[in-house]
Amino acid sequence: MLTGIHVVVYSKDAEADRAFFKDTLGFRSVDAGHGWLIFAVPAAEVAFHPGDQNNRHEMFFMCNDINAQAAALQRKGVQLGEILEEQWGTRTTISLPGGGAIELYEPKHPVTFQENERKKAQTAAT
């Protein structure tokens, strides 16, 4: 039986990005040993898109209200990209201290998890 998803984000400054997830975004974590933090993240879903190559992956946080979420993150000093409208949702990027970025979007499509779980996740992140 599959029990979850484990996402790996490669970073040029993993320590800074771990601190960002813990201190700025407020995600709960466990220490897998030697200070190696693994974070609990909100409910997840996986989509497969056609592409020119295999083993290319993207990570998006989802929210109910991108403008409110963006404002909450900016109050914490988080750098965000331009908010863009797409057919599938409204999106922006969250700049990570290590130099990378993670997407954030408010979906316009149905999601696979319960709406109340999604609302709890958003409340926890603000």
How confident is the model over 59-108, as pLDDT tens digits? Answer: 999 999 999 999 999 999 999 999 999 999 999 999 999 999 999 999 99
Domains of the chain with CATH codes: 14-44+52-125 (3.10.180.10)
Say how far apart CA 41 and CA 61 lie, in whole Å: 9
Q: Is the pLDDT of residue 116 over 60?
A: no
Q: What is the distance, to the nearest Å, from the Cα of residue 41 to the centroid of all Cα atoms in its chain?
A: 8
pTM summary value:
0.80
φ/ψ (deg, to 5) at 107: -70, 145
How confident is the model over 32-44, as pLDDT tens digits? Answer: 998 889 999 988 8
Q: CA nearest 82: which of 92, 94, 68?
A: 92
Instruction: Kindly state the average pLDDT of the residues 39-65.
Output: 90
Question: In the numeric block, which tokens belong to residue 8?
Answer: 């790996």
Strands (E), 1-126: 29-31, 37-39, 60-62, 84-85, 89-95, 101-107
